[in-house]
């Protein structure tokens, strides 16, 4: 059994992205976006994503729509949908997200967005294959 006190685990992680668990069909990832930072506009063609916000304030940009997000909010991003999440507040925007199927390398840890982008560009952040 995997068990996480997810809000506490997410709050304690200073990393931009940390993969907590990877299964055959889904993946659990925590993220911390610094003030003024963002995930970066992207589209996951074959992956659904559910994001739950633990703390901070931000802006969800999904399929051309914008909406404020705060602690306790959940946003669903269906596969093939352009999206970005931006930290609009003075504190880190902390969240956890579930990808289905997995999007990142198992146990990947990226301290910054730049590190995450470099790993993706180098092909070092590929999800496990079955």
Specify the pTM: 0.94
Nearest to 108 by CA among 117, 38, 81: 117
Q: How far apart are CA 5 and CA 39, in angstroms?
A: 23
pLDDT of residue 129: 76
- Please report, in tens digits, the pLDDT of each residue of the chain (130 residues total): 999 999 999 999 999 999 999 999 999 999 999 999 999 999 999 999 999 999 999 999 999 999 999 999 999 999 999 999 999 999 999 999 999 999 999 999 999 999 999 999 999 999 987 5
């Amino acid at each position: 059994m995997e068990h996480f006190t997810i809000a506490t685990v997410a709050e304690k992680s200073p990393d931009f992205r940390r993969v907590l668990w990877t299964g055959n069909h889904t993946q659990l990832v925590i993220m911390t976006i610094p003030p003024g930072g963002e995930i970066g506009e992207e589209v996951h063609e074959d992956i659904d994503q559910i994001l739950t916000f633990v703390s901070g304030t931000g802006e969800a940009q999904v399929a051309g729509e914008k909406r404020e997000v705060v602690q306790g909010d959940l946003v669903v991003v269906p596969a093939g949908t352009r999206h970005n999440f931006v930290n609009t507040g003075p504190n880190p925007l902390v969240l956890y997200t579930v990808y289905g199927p997995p999007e990142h390398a198992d146990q990947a840890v990226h301290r910054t967005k730049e590190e995450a982008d470099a790993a993706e560009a180098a092909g070092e952040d590929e999800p496990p294959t079955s």
